[in-house]
Amino acid sequence: MFPRPIEQTSSTTQTLYKIALPIALVIWLLPLIAVAMTSVRSAGDITAGNYWGWPTSFNFWANYSGIFEATPIGQYILNSFKVTIPTVIGAVALSCMTGFALAVYKFKGNLLIFFMFVAGNFVPFQILMVPVRDLTLDLGMYNTWYGLALFHIAFQAGFCTLFMRNFIRAMPFELIEAARVEGVSEIRIFWFVVLPLMKPAIAALSVLIFTFIWNDYFWATVLTQGAENQPITAGLYSLNGQWVAAWHLVSAGSIVAALPPVLMFFLMQRHFIAGLTLGAVK
Amino acid sequence: MTALPDTSATNKSWWKQNQQRLAPWLFLAPGIFMFAIYVIIPIFQSINISFYAWDGLGEAEWVGAENYVELMDDEAFYTSLKNNVLWLILYMLAIPAGLFVALFLNQTVRGIRIYKSLFFFPFVISQVVVGLVFAWFYDPTNGLMNIILGWFGAGPIAVLADEDYVTYGIIAAGLWPQTAYCMILYLTGLNAVDPEQIEAARLDNAKGAKLLWYVILPQLRPATFIAVVVTVIGALRSFDLISIMTDGGPWGSSRVLAFYMYEQAFSEYGFRMGYGAAIAVVLFLIMMVYIAGFLWKMYRDETGR
């Protein structure tokens, strides 16, 4: 193991390390800690400039219920779920099939199609912006959750295909061969042989895509407008405009917006990291 | 594919004989269809639009390379390009920083797993939130940064209102989640480092920086590669933070190509889709250099196997 395990060092080093850990963590998360603290302050504290001292009162409930009552933040959150959940299902479903096709079959153009997905996944969003906005307008889906979700499904198919294809590639091919010898049809091989083995990849991809889409801001501003349909990231931007210097409300709103992906991460941590680090080790 | 060992193959239905040949295309069809409509075709459409003057509503007018000629004389374009280069270079700091944090955390003391996840935290939250958090951190009157500077008798500096500092301030905000991302890549990589090689190197009296450089880093190459790829893409995609923290200001000094394009295409300056598309094409070409490199490496990995 590198660096040398701390247990093998002198006891002073060990103590120092154990002291350094929490200090480093607090410094690292200082901006977030500050936000969490501010989100429970009173408006009086904010106007008095008491940002960093002890709060004069704890207004946890007042601030958090306040933003839900006074602003459409609840609607924004709902919109985010309406976009994110179908995207996760759609992108994972599409890429299970494309990944399977590209990993299992040898045919002309296989690598070319695979590279098309990979390259497309890396293009800057701006080169897609104008045509995709037009297309969405033409389809009558501008400013709807499904218009946004459809685009996300298509775009995420690139990354998801890369992920799924490499995952299936690492599976034992003999299983498929054996099933073919038995005369099992290709669709049944996909459904009964391969798909059950893909569960960990599906879980990893689902949490990753959930986070990516939840946190998307660019496409939310391009394809939606107004509180009716905008997801929370875009909503937070416009709320920030209304809450000039009302930092206790901005902070509470930020925390509400961050909560779903954070919960997702902590609940599915193992899958999340497995997904993110695919390819980091050979 | 008809060459099945089964002699009764001729009696089988056409589908049964050909399914192995057709199956991949059936599985690929929905994915390719969606990807073509929303990603591949729009790239070409954008390139096409970049040769027109178009407000997004009326008739588009063919102007040839005029948009590109205009770009060459556009000071805002050069500011954006310069900032993009700054982003590309400084964002790379996330890689050594991530490695450093990963080395610090690669221990097995009690509770270390919770520490690792908490260090990873900034990556999970939206860039919109990161932007808001840092905008406030830099706030000249009450921001934490200026309070700390005040202790040393310096400041206050209005980072986000100062043309000279603004881009650096935003990049610093971006480095926070990006470092977390690189950290997690390296933690995974460090997990897979061959312990025998480390022991052997230690027996040869290698330690510290030398051990890291000659033994550990070569084994971390896959992690470094992914870290470079995601950091380059992150740098060139930088849009959210700029939009949230400064909206390109002050006086457009924190724009990058991605942001300038958006601004030109739809904002109060009017809808200049053609000009915006031309900016996007330039950004796309810069990105293409990296994409081509990435594909080339993948191609070698795939065929070399």
The answer to the question of residue B174 being in a domain is yes
Nearest to B118 among A3, A29, A273 (CB): A29
Q: What does pLDDT average to over chain A?
A: 88
Q: Is the pLDDT of residue A50 over 90?
A: no
Q: Kindly provide the ipTM of the predicted complex, given to two decimals.
A: 0.86
Q: Is the pLDDT of residue A58 over 90?
A: no
Return the domain boundaries, chain A. Answer: 69-276
What digits encode the pLDDT tens for the residues B90-100? 999 999 999 99
The answer to the question of residue B145 being in a domain is yes
Chain B nearest CA to A152, separation (Å)? 9
Q: Is the pLDDT of residue B9 over 60?
A: no
The answer to the question of residue B239 being in a domain is yes
Rounded mean pLDDT of B116-144?
86
pLDDT confidence band for B4 (50 / 70 / 90): very low
Rounded mean pLDDT of B150-169?
85
Nearest to B239 among A120, A132, A218 (CB): A218
What digits encode the pLDDT tens for the residues A90-136? 999 999 999 999 999 998 899 999 999 999 988 999 999 999 998 99
The answer to the question of residue B172 being in a domain is yes
What digits encode the pLDDT tens for the residues A237-251? 888 888 776 788 888
Query: What's the one-letter identity of residue A3?
Result: P
Rounded mean pLDDT of B163-172?
92
Chain B residue numbers touching A266 (CB-CB < 8 A): 117
- 3-state SS, residue A279: coil
What integer pLDDT is reported at residue A280 of this predicted model? 61
The answer to the question of residue B43 being in a domain is no
What integer pLDDT is reported at residue B270 of this predicted model? 67
The answer to the question of residue B293 being in a domain is no
Chain A residue numbers touching B234 (CB-CB < 8 A): none
The answer to the question of residue B229 being in a domain is yes
What integer pLDDT is reported at residue A279 of this predicted model? 60
Do the Cβ atoms of B277 and A130 come within 8 Å? yes
Number of domains in chain B: 1
What digits encode the pLDDT tens for the residues A269-280? 888 887 777 766
Q: What does pLDDT average to over chain B?
A: 87
What integer pLDDT is reported at residue B179 of this predicted model? 95
% residues pLDDT > 90 (chain B): 38
Q: Is the pLDDT of residue B146 over 50?
A: yes
CATH topology classification for A69-276 = MetI-like fold (1.10.3720)
* Side-chain-side CA neighbours of residue B58 (13 Å): 8
What digits encode the pLDDT tens for the residues A144-172? 999 999 999 999 999 999 989 988 988 88
Chain B residue numbers touching A254 (CB-CB < 8 A): 129, 132-133
Please indicate whether residue B270 or residue A171 has the higher confidence score (pLDDT): A171
Rounded mean pLDDT of A174-196?
90
pLDDT confidence band for B154 (50 / 70 / 90): confident
Question: Rounded CA gap, B276 and B284, in Å?
Answer: 12
- Looking at the complex, does the CB of residue A67 fall below 8 Å from at least one CB of chain B? no
Question: Rounded CA gap, A28 and B304, in Å?
Answer: 42
Q: Is the pLDDT of residue A9 over 80?
A: yes
Domain limits at B83? 75-270
Q: Is the pLDDT of residue A52 over 80?
A: no
Q: What is the CATH number of the domain that holds B175?
A: 1.10.3720.10
Task: Give the DSSP per-residue string, chain B.
Answer: ----S-GGGGGS-HHHHHHHHHHHHHHHHHHHHHHIIIIIHHHHHHHHHTTEE--SSS--EE-TTHHHHHHHT-HHHHHHHHHHHHHHHHHTTHHHHHHHHHHHH----TTHHHHHHHHHHHHHS-HHHHHHHHHHHT-TTT-HHHHHHHHTT-----GGG-TTTHHHHHHHHHHHHHHHHHHHHHHHHHHTS-HHHHHHHHHTT--HHHHIIIIIHHHTHHHHHHHHHHHHHHHHH--HHHHHHTTT-STTTT--HHHHHHHHHSSTT---HHHHHHHHHHHHHHHHHHHHHHHHHHHHHHHT-
The answer to the question of residue B279 being in a domain is no
Do the Cβ atoms of A154 and B39 come within 8 Å? yes
Residue of B32, B105, B114, B132 for testing the chain A interface, max A β-carbons within 10 Å: B132
Do the Cβ atoms of A277 and B142 come within 8 Å? no
Rounded mean pLDDT of B246-275?
85
pLDDT confidence band for B2 (50 / 70 / 90): very low
